[in-house]
Chains A and B, each alone.
Chain A
Amino acid sequence: MIASRRRRAAAAGYLYLAPAAALTLVFVYWPLVASTALSFYDWNLVSPTWTAVGWENYRELVHTRAFWLALVNTGRAAAALTVLTVLVPLLLAVAVLRVKGWWRNVYRVVLFSPTVISMAIACAVWLWMFHPLHGVINTLLRYGGVEGPRWLSSGSSAIWAIILVTVWKTFGFNFVIYIAGLLAIPAEMYEAARVDGASERQVFRHITLPLLAPTTLFVFLTTFILSPQNLFVPTQILTQGGPNEASNNLGYLVYQLGFEYFRVGYASAAATLIFLVLLALSAAQFYFAERRVHYGR
């Protein structure tokens, strides 16, 4: 009697799980397996014949300049993005909380505004601003007697243009998270420190920063995990990975190989490698960040 009722309750429980479970299996976990399987084939997206090629796709990939460039660029961009989109929002949040009343909200609303608009549309606007001849950036530089570079088609500046746009578009989220984190620190903590004669800088270092550590961990992890995905749209719209692969990154490389060169197996090999690299990196980062937060207190 009880056993059968329990079984019925469990069956009902599975019905609640079913929609999300089915979607997750079909659109995330099966594709992960399928992508790995595809990586051992040579297929051009339309041909009826598939050729099993063993490890050939992987071998070709690690011998390609484009792959290593994309890997290095992704690492560089992720590092730059993580530093910038953690530091800048923290400083801005501290500054905004110094302001009282109506202005505080104005600053908050304005600084967050790029976060709510579409990255693809924002990139179209930046594409125009970066235009070498008529773009506003080079027009202004010309007033200063400087001939600006071709921002998006020069190997040294293209990736920085992508990073700049990504920071502009995404820092707002971390900014409001930091504001919430700062507001959650009890005022008594500050008062106690001031009574003890701590300087403003000391208060920031020994009270604010340690108490913000959980917020920083969250911001750090989400920024890092999302950065390869955040890079895709600006890369696709601003540079298509160019010039000569100088601004390419792993996420865009998979798209390029799969949907521009139609080398499905080869692209899948790249996708599988990215997944492994990211998995290892996030595991390592989580491990270190976790220790820091616990021992830092």
Chain B
Amino acid sequence: MAGKARWVHALLLVTCAAVVFPMFWMLSTALKPPPEIFAGTFRLWPVHPTLQNFATAMTQVPLLRLFWNSLFVAVVVTAAQALTSVLAAYACAILRVPGQRVWFGLFVATMMVPFQVTMIPNYLLVARFNLLNSYMGLVVPQVITGYGIFLLHQTYRNLPASLVEAGILDGASSWQILWRIVVPATSTALAALAVLFFINTCNQYLWPLLVASDRYMKTLPVGMQEFVNLEGGTNWGPLMAAATMAIVPALLAYVVAQRYVLESFVTAGLKE
């Protein structure tokens, strides 16, 4: 039995090492001076660690601005997604609205439509209203979320009916019932969903790639790619330094809040 446990540990340790290696290699490359990057020998850790690549990265690409764009867009999109999902799920699951089942079906069906299928008309629409390279254009089309509505709908459905009835008996309006009874009673699910929305929006690539061509309006994942294929080849050192600066805060936040983040993915994934 003990021998078996050792095998399980060995297998998992090797897998973990393989999974983490790309991130480790990113950091290690970022700290290497150019001669070590292109030495052609394998060295886990730089002999002469330097922050030179980080300095280059900061001057070649407006990294702080990219950070800000990503953060701002993610916060606004998350808040808007949470709000619209709460309202729509409430209307579909608790209120009695004619046609609510049809609408719910239409919301959920959006999950089956890959973004590539709708991206051209979306782009044309945003361009028509002169919203290319604007926060408005970056944010608004990203707000739709069939997933959020679906998840909250299931959660609201499982609320005891007596809770809402008590509110009605007290003479509360539907608006008051939503914010004083339904939302507080399901705050865990909503928080989990918000974590998911936030991570997802931060990591969004295709839509920002289409909408923001101005280097000051790009989000972090898009703007960073400027280092790839600069004239005279990709600037690997600064690219890895920029990637490190983008990924390390996310990883640290994840490790600190790991219990919470993992639970969010599970709650949201199992939608019950």
Measured as residues with beta carbon below 8 angstroms from the partner, the interface class of chain A is 35 or more
Contacting B118 at CB < 8 Å: which of A35, A110, A142, A228?
A35
Whether B42 and A143, one on each chain, are in contact in the complex, defined by CB atoms closer than 8 angstroms, is yes
Contact B120 A267 (CB under 8 A): yes
Q: Looking at the complex, which one of A17, A114, A139 makes contact with B97 (CB distance below 8 Å)? A: A17
A29 at the interface (CB under 8 A from B): yes
Within the assembled complex, what's the spacing in Å between the Cα atoms of A28 and B243? 32
Q: B residues within 8 A CB of A268? A: 120
CB of A212 closer than 8 Å to a CB of B:
no
> Mask for A28-39, Cβ within 8 A of B = 1, else 0?
111110110010
Residues of B97-137 whose CB lies within 8 A of A: 97-98, 100, 103, 106-107, 110-125
Cβ–Cβ < 8 Å partners of B106 in chain A: 21, 24, 29
Contact in complex: B265, A173 (CB < 8 Å): yes
**Do the beta carbons of A255 and B116 come within 8 Å of each other?**
yes
Contacts A17-B87, A98-B5 known; A125 to B26 CB distance under 8 Å? Answer: yes
Contact of B262 among A98, A124, A176, A251 (CB under 8 A): A176
**CB nearest to B195 among chain A residues:** A116
User: Complex: how many Å from CA A288 to CA B23?
Assistant: 39
Residue of B with least CB distance to A173: B265
Indicate whether B91 reaches chain A with its CB closer than 8 angstroms. Answer: yes
- A19 CA / B225 CA spacing, docked (Å): 34
Docked-complex contact B116 and A24, CB < 8 angstroms: no
Ranked nearest first, the 5 interchain pairs of A and B with the lowest CB-CB distance are: A13-B97, A20-B88, A31-B121, A120-B221, A31-B118
A176 to B261, CA, bound (A): 11
Assembled-state Cα–Cα distance A27/B137 (Å): 12
- Secondary structure class of chain A's binding surface, majority of residues: helix
The answer to whether residues A112 and B120 also contact, given A13-B100, A27-B144, A125-B25 and a CB cut-off of 8 A, is no
Q: How far is the CB of B146 from chain A (nearest CB, A)?
A: 8
When distances are taken between beta carbons in the complex, the residues of chain B under 8 Å from A98 are 5, 8
Interface residue ranges of A259-281 to B (CB < 8 Å) = 259, 264, 267-268, 271-272, 274-275, 278-279
Give A19's nearest chain B residue, CB to CB: B84
Give the chain A neighbours of B159 by CB distance below 8 A: none
Given A13-B91, A17-B87, are A168 and B19 also a contact pair (CB < 8 Å)? yes
Closest B residue by C-beta to A128:
B236
> Contact at A19–B87, with CB atoms within 8 Å?
yes
Question: By the criterion CB–CB under 8 Å, are B19 and A110 in contact?
Answer: yes
With A124-B243, A168-B19 as contacts: A176 and B12 at CB distance below 8 Å: no
Give every chain A residue within 8 A of B203 (Cβ-Cβ).
117-120
Assess the B141–A27 pair: CB atoms within 8 A.
yes
**A contact residues around B42 at 8 Å (CB):** 136, 139-140, 143
A-B contacts, 9 of them at CB < 8 A, read A17-B88, A19-B83, A19-B88, A20-B87, A21-B106, A38-B120, A118-B203, A125-B240, A134-B40
Binary A-proximity of B167-209 (CB < 8 A = 1, otherwise 0) = 0000000100010000000000000000000010011011001
Given contacts A13-B100, A118-B221, contact A125 B23 (CB under 8 A): yes
With an 8 A cutoff between CB atoms, is A163 at the interface?
no
Q: Known contacts A115-B265, A225-B112: does B12 contact A95 (CB below 8 Å)? A: yes
A contact residues around B247 at 8 Å (CB) = 117-118, 121-122
Residues of A within 8 A of B122 (CB): 27, 31
Residue of B16, B42, B121, B225 with highest tally of chain A CB at under 10 A? B121
Chain B at the A interface: mostly helix, strand, loop or mixed?
A: helix
Q: CA A272 – CA B29 in complex, angstroms?
A: 43
Are B120 and A258 in touch, CB under 8 angstroms? yes
Expressed in whole angstroms, the Cα–Cα distance for A129 and B27 within the complex equals: 12
Asked whether A151 is an interface residue with its Cβ less than 8 Å from the other chain, the reply is no
Instruction: Output the residue of B42, B120, B178, B269 with the most chain A CB within 10 A.
Output: B120
What is the chain A residue whose CB lies nearest that of B206?
A: A232
Q: State whether B224 touches A120 (Cβ < 8 A).
A: yes
CB contacts under 8 Å to B, within A229-251, are 229, 232-233, 236-237, 250-251
- Nearest residue (CB) in B for A180 is B266
Q: Check: A66 CB closer than 8 A to any chain B CB.
A: no
Binds B, one of A57-65, A101-109, A188-196, A289-297: A101-109
Q: Which residues of B contact A220 (CB under 8 A)?
A: none
Tell me whether A282 is interfacial, beta carbon within 8 Å. yes
Known: A13-B91, A19-B84, A275-B117. A107 touches B12 (CB 8 A): yes
Q: B236 to A99, Cβ gap below 8 A?
A: no
B88 — which chain A residues lie within 8 A by C-beta? 16-17, 19-21
Q: A228 CA to B149 CA in the complex, in Å?
A: 23
Assess whether B118 is in contact with A9, with CB atoms less than 8 Å apart: no
CA distance A272 to B119 in the complex (A): 12
Residues of chain A lying within 8 A (CB to CB) of residue B205: 118-120, 232-233, 236
Distance (whole angstroms) from the CB of A210 to the closest CB of chain B? 18
Contact B25 A255 (CB under 8 A): no
B228 within 8 A of partner (CB) = yes
Q: Enumerate chain B residues within 8 angstroms of A129, measured Cβ to Cβ.
A: 22, 25
A96 within 8 A of B: yes
Q: Does B69 contact A (CB under 8 A)?
A: no
Q: Answer whether residue A152 sits at the interface, using C-beta atoms and an 8 A cutoff.
A: no
In whole angstroms, what is the CA distance A259 to B206 when docked? 12
Give A128 to B27 CA distance when docked, in angstroms.
12
A30 touches B121 (CB 8 A): yes
